Structure 1
């Protein structure tokens, strides 16, 4: 299985001391090292202040089995042409994991067909992540709840279509709740959105969060080679005789 990690890596990410403490070589490298350490063939690409996502080339995308996408504030700089290619690839069977602020990523919004807006508060507060679908493969090997010491609050209402599964529900110290881990099928492709992962917090170093991410890419991996999206085709002979 080939995993491609995509994240933002603008000037602010290269100079912010709080971010550098958690991700010295960029968030994309933190995630790449996680997946590579689990034996996956992993490539990391990033979007800086002067690019539209062009580092995610057609060649890389065509070789990707699971795309892991982290975004923050540069969503609109991603070209519509790239978004269309990603969506087509998902419909053809590529898995896609959208992390944290990637709820506003253009590929996620295209695949969901809704605004994907939510309530948020940037305060380092405690999050308790409840496993609400304990038999789902993404929840394999987890306790019934996970404590995350510091996380950015995301709260309902989260404007997404009804999920196939709500694997995790988050409760925050300030009282809000959130559908923090949800799954979808789009065409032949599997999609997982996962809320924890604010760039200046230690969430991606939490052992249970890391296990969730590894479980997620295994779940999202295509069971057969990724192909083209299914198209309309003419059927000449009906299965039953028409009188």
Structure 2
């Protein structure tokens, strides 16, 4: 099989504005995430990066057509993501592009659109220890991940997390204050597969953690579709006895 083509998208605003974040991620969080994917997938992945300030946020039609899996990290500037780019990404996910949403990407326009809920949650940034417990050890995303995966310091996310019931729950997290959170969830929308993974606040070096990097790489590998071509789900009319070639139908609103 050909290498999975990955586009790592990052907001890249904290790194420019906040010195302590720049010290943790001097090349940007997106580059650190990309390095972790390359480190774990090696020749099985071709990885590029894109950021909010790139033309069309770096997510042109051509880039998305050439992307098997898109990873998404955003936080302070969700509202600056152009609606037409969100629509473009949404179309590609439904047509079969994989999507890995990280940490505060839970409130991104693309994730809330795909989930159809507020995606709100409980949070606290007070240097909590996080333990990530594998609840589905046979899932490909959990391969090689310690149980539990310990992160010494990170932001806390807690329930209630307003998302639809996940298709699969792979990880849950617990924190110093006793909170619990569904921290590794998969969903399917149209022909696309989505993985949400919680860790990764900008104030902590979480994306340098070898096991966090492994989970993200596993998620990328899992989210790749094995369909022979990318195709948006469409309504077709089939004659009686015809199983393979439907006729196009533009729908009642066309």
Q: TM-score, normalised by structure 1?
A: 0.92
- Give the stretch that moved more between structures: 169-178 or 228-237: 228-237
Report the equivalent of 2:52: 47
* CA distance in structure 1 between the partners assigned to 2:138 and 2:111 by the alignment: 25
**Alignment of 1:7 onto 2:10:** yes
Report the equivalent of 2:246: none
Q: Find the partner of 2:154 among 135, 138, 151.
A: 151
Report the equivalent of 1:235: 238
Question: In 1, are the aligned partners of 2:9 and 2:30 still within 8 Å (CA)?
Answer: yes
Report the equivalent of 1:99: 102
* CA distance in structure 2 between the partners assigned to 1:161 and 1:107 by the alignment: 15
- Give the stretch that moved more between structures: 169-178 or 226-235: 226-235
* CA distance in structure 1 between the partners assigned to 2:153 and 2:111 by the alignment: 25
* CA distance in structure 2 between the partners assigned to 1:89 and 1:225 by the alignment: 15
- Give the stretch that moved more between structures: 39-48 or 156-165: 39-48
Question: In 2, are the aligned partners of 1:151 and 1:196 still within 8 Å (CA)?
Answer: yes
Map 1:49-64 to 2 at 5 A: 53-64=56-67
| Structure 2 unmatched ranges of 5 or more | 243-254
* CA distance in structure 2 between the partners assigned to 1:21 and 1:168 by the alignment: 30
* CA distance in structure 2 between the partners assigned to 1:52 and 1:101 by the alignment: 23
SS for the counterpart of 1:54 is: helix
Map 1:1-243 to 2 at 5 A: 1-10=4-13, 12-37=14-39, 38-39=41-42, 40-48=45-53, 53-237=56-240
Question: In 2, are the aligned partners of 1:65 and 1:226 still within 8 Å (CA)?
Answer: no
Question: In 2, are the aligned partners of 1:52 and 1:78 still within 8 Å (CA)?
Answer: no
* CA distance in structure 2 between the partners assigned to 1:208 and 1:36 by the alignment: 14
SS for the counterpart of 1:67 is: strand
Aligned length: 236
* CA distance in structure 1 between the partners assigned to 2:158 and 2:57 by the alignment: 32
> Which string of whole-angstrom CA distances, capped at 9 and with x for unpartnered residues, describes residues 46-92 of structure 1?
114xx785322111111000000001011111122111111111111
In structure 2, the CA distance between the partners of 1:83 and 1:15, relative to structure 1 (3 Å rule), is closer
Question: In 2, are the aligned partners of 1:2 and 1:66 still within 8 Å (CA)?
Answer: yes
